[in-house]
Chain A
């Protein structure tokens, strides 16, 4: 498993080792979204790409999004499915004792939508020992995707924040101009280190972006400000960890 690009740049785009898992997950999300919308194409990628043509806006769109996120959280084991799709790469990065973010985020970005996540980095609020997995449910390219500054350019951009007058504006402009635009077909995921500056701009393409994001880390890696038990749940344990935890449980009793 080659993680050299991740080590050097802080991110990499990886093809799923088990793409059928992702296809089934997307099919389930598509079925529910279509039911909630009451309209749209049969094909999941077509439905999602053309979602903006259903012209759901404002509270109506938000209601659908919230109901869909609740459905995904309550009924689909997204964390496990993504792990199964990328188990080799994930285990190489975080080890065999894995905790995962309790909730999965689902983002729907329609063309021209001005509501977007600002330029930011996840760590140090989140743990620098996490890996963020960003999974587009459609093919992404250009402004339909996201951009990320690699480790070197992240360091440059953080220096800009020292200017209290224009630091954030300078950083955002730098991120837009120097950020690596990430293109990938469905069936791939972006793995990135949470210390990297990243953002999305206004989607000026003619298709809607749908993407999931979720975070994994080692059971005993520092948990950041969000807290171990607040933010994570155990996904899997190695045989050794199981044995040791059983031993510890006995010692505590």
Chain B
């Protein structure tokens, strides 16, 4: 049986609490004939960079891949973080998403799914009322302003 890291969405805990995110990720692991061996989640301060997930991958864990709660976790930096997704795949790990039921096991599948991921990020940025996401976006905007000022 395959083992996976679960990576919960810190920015969405208010709307989908951790136990529900665990259920969704566990269900995705079962669809992949696997199980979750460990879970992690970012701090608010690392949402945009996925610093904690990156640190875990650098440890070269004995898992087949990472199951995220949602693709939105790759959007917190203000655009789709294609570079980090490629980094994970280049390290030999699969990337999966529970909420969207999407699997990206290889660089080729990432190429195939790029139009969907790109358009999803653009629609979210353009159309979703910030009020529904305020705690996260307020933090991200503040953070971005601080970065551009420094």
Query: For residue B127, which residues in chain A have a CB less than 8 angstroms away from its CB?
Result: 222-223
Comparing A6-14, A16-24, A40-48, A227-235, the segment that makes contact with chain B is A227-235
| Cβ B119 vs Cβ A249 within 8 A | no
Q: Which residues of B contact A227 (CB under 8 A)?
A: 99-100, 120
A102 and B103 CA atoms in complex are apart in Å by 14
Instruction: Return chain A residues, CB-CB under 8 Å to B101.
Output: 102, 230
CA distance A230 to B124 in the complex (A): 12
Using known A-B contacts A222-B127, A230-B100, determine if residue A252 contacts B120 with beta carbons closer than 8 Å.
no
Nearest Cβ in chain B — how far from A38, in angstroms?
Answer: 29
Looking at the complex, which one of B82, B83, B100, B111 makes contact with A229 (CB distance below 8 Å)? B100
Expressed in whole angstroms, the Cα–Cα distance for A219 and B114 within the complex equals 12
Q: In the assembly, what is the distance between CA of A230 and CA of B116, in Å?
A: 10
A245 interface residue per 8 A CB criterion: yes
* Residue in chain A with minimal CB distance to B110: A249
A253 at interface by CB-CB < 8 Å: yes
User: How many residues of A sit at the interface, in one of the four size bands?
Assistant: 20 to 34
Q: CA separation between A228 and B97, bound complex, in Å? A: 13
Q: Does chain A have a CB within 8 A of B44?
A: no
Tell me if B80 counts as interface (CB < 8 A to partner A): yes
Given the complex of chains A and B, what is the CA–CA distance between A168 and B127 in angstroms? 30
User: Would you call B86 an interface residue if the criterion is a C-beta within 8 Å of the partner chain's C-beta atoms?
Assistant: yes
Partner among B83, B99, B123 whose Cβ is within 8 Å of the Cβ of A223 = B123
A228 with B79: CB separation less than 8 A: no
Q: How distant is A250 from chain B, measured CB to nearest CB, in Å?
A: 10
How long is the Cα–Cα vector from A116 to B126 in the complex, in angstroms? Answer: 37
CB distance from B25 to the nearest CB of A (A): 15
Given known A-B contacts A222-B127, A249-B82, A253-B83, A229 and B118 have beta carbons under 8 A apart: no
Whether B19 is near chain A, meaning CB under 8 Å from some CB there, is no
Whether B52 sits at the interface, judged by CB under 8 Å, is no
Chain A hits for B86, CB < 8 A: 253
- Counting chain B CB atoms within 10 Å of each CB, the highest count among A220, A228, A249, A253 belongs to A228
Report the minimum CB–CB distance from B11 to chain A (whole Å).
15
Total B residues in contact with A, Cβ cutoff 8 Å = 24
Per-residue CB contact flags for chain B residues 87-103 toward chain A (1 = under 8 Å, else 0) read 00000000001011110
Q: Do A222 and B123 touch across chains, with their CB atoms under 8 A apart?
A: yes
User: Is B71 an interface residue when CB atoms closer than 8 A count as contact?
Assistant: yes
Q: Quick check: is A241 within 8 A (CB to CB) of the other chain?
A: yes
Does chain B have a CB within 8 A of A182? no
Instruction: Determine if B140 is an interface residue (Cβ-Cβ < 8 Å).
Output: no
CA gap between A102 and B79 in the complex, in Å? 24
Query: Once the chains bind, are B114 and A245 in contact (CB under 8 Å)?
Result: yes
Task: Decide if B83 touches A252 in the complex (CB within 8 Å).
Answer: yes
Residues on A with beta carbons closer than 8 Å to the beta carbon of B123: 220, 222-223, 228
Q: A222-B123, A222-B127 are in contact. Are A233 and B116 (CB under 8 A)?
A: yes
Provide the residues of chain B in CB contact with A253, threshold 8 Å. 82-83, 86
Q: Which residue from chain A places its CB closest to the CB of B122 in the assembled complex? A: A220
Q: List B residues at the A interface (Cβ < 8 Å).
A: 71, 79-80, 82-83, 86, 97, 99-102, 111, 114-120, 122-124, 126-127
29 CB-based A-B contacts, threshold 8 Å? A99-B116, A219-B115, A220-B122, A222-B123, A222-B126, A223-B120, A223-B127, A227-B99, A227-B100, A227-B120, A228-B116, A228-B120, A228-B123, A229-B71, A229-B97, A229-B100, A229-B102, A230-B101, A232-B116, A234-B115, A234-B116, A248-B118, A249-B82, A249-B111, A249-B118, A252-B82, A252-B83, A253-B82, A253-B86
